[in-house]
Amino acid sequence: MTEPLSGHDGPYDAPVEIRGFRVLPEWIDYNGHMNVGYYGVAFDLALEKLMVEHLGLGEVQVAALGQGPYVLQSHMTFLREIQENEPFFYRIRLLDADHKRGHYFAQMLSENDGEVCATQEALFMNVSHKTGRSVAYPDWAAERLAQMVRDHAGLDAAPQAGQAIGIRRA
C-alpha cells in the first residue's frame, strides 16, 4: 500500500501529547494505587493512539497490511503514585527511527498537578504477521517516523532516558 492509512504527515507537536486517560478501579492493587503491571497497559494504550492518530500505523496498519509494531524492549521508571480515578496524560517523543524500528520516550503525567508519575523508554519494530519477522515500513510511514524524529530533535533530554538499571553504590 502506497497511501497513508490515517494520521498526518506533520509537523508533529514536540512532544506529542496524548490525553483522555483515567486510572480504572481494576488497575488498583492492595497498596491502594495503580498496580505496576497496568502501567505497561496504559503506556501501550498511549502508544497505540500515537501510532494511529498521528502516524497512521498500529491497528489500522495491521488490518490493511498484515504488519505492525512490536515492542522489543521497554524500561519504565515509577516516580510517584497515581490513584484510582485520577486523570492522566502522556508526552511522547520519538528519539530515533529507521526503516523498520523506532525508539521513543514517554512520560505519564497527572492531569491534577502536571507531575510526572512514570516514564517509559522503548524500542519497537515493524513485524509481518505472515512471516513473524521484521519488515520495512512502507515509504510513507518511514518518512512520517523520520519527520517526527526531526520535529522532536530539539527537545531537552529527559533525565530518565537512556538510564541503566542497577543498584547504585556510593
Q: Is residue 138 part of a domain?
A: yes
The β-bridge relationship of strands 87-97 and 101-110 is antiparallel
CB atoms within 10 A of CB 15: 20
Distance CA 56, CA 135 (A): 16
The strand ranges marked E within the chain are 16-22, 67-78, 87-97, 101-110, 116-128
> Is 132 domain-assigned?
yes
Domain containing 132: what range? Answer: 16-152
pTM score, whole prediction: 0.94
Residue 115 lies in a domain: yes
Residue 1 has pLDDT above 70, yes or no: no
pLDDT tens figures, 52-107: 999 999 999 999 999 999 999 999 999 999 999 999 999 999 999 999 999 999 99
Let me know: does 126 contact 135? Beta carbons within 8 Å. yes
User: Does residue 107 come out as left (phi exceeding 0), alpha (psi in the -120 to 50 range) or beta?
Assistant: beta
- Mean pLDDT over 37-56 rounds to 97
Q: Is residue 10, in this structure, part of any structural domain at all?
A: no
CB 82 within 8 A of CB 23: yes
Whether residue 98 is contained in a domain is answered as: yes
Q: What is the mean pLDDT of residues 23-40?
A: 95
Residue 2 within a domain? no
Domain count, the chain: 1
Q: Is residue 165 part of a domain?
A: no
**Averaged pLDDT of the chain:** 95
Tell me the CATH number at 39. 3.10.129.10
Tell me, yes or no, whether 163 lies in a domain: no
